Amino acid sequence: MAATDSEISSNTVSQALSLRPLPEFAGRPGPLLIIVADGVGVAPPVDSNAVYRAHTPTLDALAESPLYTELAAHGKAVGLPTDDDMGNSEVGHNALGAGRIFDQGAKLVNKAIADGSLFESEHWKTAVARGLDGGTLHLLGLHSDGNVHSHTDHLYAMLRRAAADGVRRARIHILHDGRDVPSRSALDYVDATEAVLAEINAGHDGADFRIASGGGRMYITMDRYEADWAMVERGYQCHTHGVGRPFLSATDAVETMYVETDRGDQYLEEFVVVEGDAGAAGDPIGIMADGDAVILFNFRGDRAIEISRAYEEAGFTPFDRTANGAVSHPDVFFAGMLEYDGDTHVPKNYLVAPPSISRTMSQYLCAEGLPSFAISETQKFGHVTYFWNGNRSGYIDPDLETYVEIPSDNVEFNKTPGMKAREITAKTIELLETGRYRWGRINFPNGDMVGHTGDLDATIEAMEVVEECVERLMRVIDELDGLLIYTADHGNADIMYTEKDGVRSPKTSHTLSPVPFAIYDPRYEGEYHLAPVEGAGLSHVAATVLNLLGYQAPDDYNPSLITFD
């Protein structure tokens, strides 16, 4: 396999790094395996806790071992603005792989809005110029304050600034959340946004700012890892060409769909707002045209890359961007909130620079010549590769690393709660038994992806599949005289519903719960023990891994979770 430019660059950086041996411990003879049980937090043992409700004797035993603790996986511990901010898989894997805390998406955007640098950026000025030159400014993104992919406060700040800068025609294309916020909360966000638009339209002569289109985030637009291009196509056609079910307002669309289906917001179908009144409906109000500008206001990268490519990529082939084979892809200026992929440079234009994460754990271990692997299914493959490696695509060193993607099924995951955990496990065992790899990392998506559906019974079953797979992997680690780390990136499956006045409401969002961290060491004889690390979080895992492999951690890494005193 030929190395890409990004791989050559990363490899060169890795070769300049080095680690010092750890005098007290040289590691075990066998490999070290890191298991990230995505979305598995630690919460009180109540009926809403799928992690607790599941029959998991192996995981329970790990939690009772002397090498078990719990880690912060949200808020400031993973670079988010406040401790009220839920963690997510992206910042969690960044922290796991980097060994330090870096300011992340929302925090970067908050700072850029507060100090005005976002509005002084070249690409904001270009977008505004399109609006001043007869074009329309379109703002597209996840429509909630979940603060995982986006925040409506960022949208409102840009709308107000655009109006102050002289833009008089703007269209908002909303993606219902229902995943990082309550499952049927779309109307609350629509009402809030309509109030902001009314304020702008009343306060600026000639202003015409309106919601133009939308749909559920898991039905249109926000696919990731090229799992479902048809989903992106539905969103593109809706937002760009006005292809969708017509309604007179976003409120009308949501209210109608709530009557027609019991699905949560994330699965609602696409809609377009059209001109007209109760007696007649006309043309869509937000079709994109040559000379317009489009800003994607999501700050998280994984579910923003494909729609960004659809707007800006020359020679785009995943789907036909014309409408009904006739109306062509418009010549628009497109910008993202951040650069979503720093190696492939998607998008080309962005308003806020993403964090620069250097000297990741993987880079150090490649520099030491340690072969490794990374495995997950499509839904989380980028997390154990791209995010783990500091937002870098491709291999750090293709001669030392093996990345394996197990294709995800294109289904609602409560229908198949096992997902691909057994396939991930089988491939992991195959690689471990080759004897080639010194360490590896895998992600079981079940707790997160099934947890997001709000289906408690399915999530309990998902956790029992994770239990089965971890138990199998521990047996292999026994045979190979290795080590195993079991942890998670954030909570989700640990709180599946809330209850008020006897009424249960599904909770599909992440939680603020800590996550488990356990070392399974079949040969453990007290050579090390857990260190009392104040405020320990995910960023402390990297130094721990380096120690368990027989190396001292770099001086600026967050302290290891183990000590040899």
Q: What is the mean pLDDT of residues 111-121?
A: 96
Q: Are residues 304 and 387 in the same domain?
A: no
Domain end residue (candidates: 352, 372, 393):
352
Domain end residue (candidates: 296, 323, 352):
352
199-224 tens-digit pLDDT: 999 999 999 999 999 999 999 999 98
Q: What is the model's pLDDT at position 503?
A: 86
**Considering just the CA atoms, what is the radius of gyration of the chain in Å?**
24
Domain end residue (candidates: 352, 372, 404):
352
Contact indicator for 183, 261 with CB cutoff of 8 Å: no
Q: Are residues 250 and 379 in the same domain?
A: no
**Residue 207: left (phi > 0), alpha (psi -120 to 50), or beta?**
beta
Q: pLDDT tier at 127 (50, 70, 90 boundaries)?
A: very high
pLDDT at 384 over 90: yes
Q: Are residues 393 and 514 in the same domain?
A: yes
Q: What is the span of the domain harbouring residue 541?
A: 5-103+355-563
Q: Are residues 403 and 348 in the same domain?
A: no
CA angle, 177 then 180 then 184, to 5°: 50
Q: Are residues 187 and 243 in the same domain?
A: yes
Supply the pTM of this predicted model: 0.74
pLDDT at 7 over 70: no
**Of 10, 14, 48, 89, which residue is the catalytic one?**
89
- Residue 395, CA distances (Å) to 35, 284, 348, 489, 564 in order: 20, 45, 22, 22, 33
pLDDT at 278 over 80: no
Q: Please report how many Cα atoms fall inside a 13 Å half-sphere around the Cα of residue 448, on the Cβ side.
A: 24
Cα–Cα distance, 449 to 444 (Å, whole number): 10
| Identity at 415, one-letter amino acid code | K
Q: Are residues 432 and 550 in the same domain?
A: yes
Q: What is the DSSP letter of 488?
A: -
Q: Are residues 369 and 253 in the same domain?
A: no
* 266: CATH: 3.40.1450.10
Q: What is the model's pLDDT at position 439?
A: 98
Q: Are residues 214 and 304 in the same domain?
A: yes
Kindly provide the residue ranges of all beta strands, DSSP E only, lying in 46-192, ordered along the sequence.
Answer: 68-71, 137-142, 169-176
* 51: CATH: 3.40.720.10
Total structural domains in the chain? 2
Q: Are residues 289 and 407 in the same domain?
A: no
The percent of residues in the chain predicted with pLDDT above 70, rounded, is 96
**Catalytic annotation present for 393:** no
Q: Are residues 380 and 463 in the same domain?
A: yes
Q: Are residues 165 and 287 in the same domain?
A: yes
Q: Are residues 327 and 184 in the same domain?
A: yes
Q: In sequence order, what are the beta bridge partners of 504?
A: 499
The two counts, helices (H) then strands (E), for the chain are: 18, 20
| Per-position DSSP letters for 535-546, written without gaps between them | T-BGGGHHHHHH
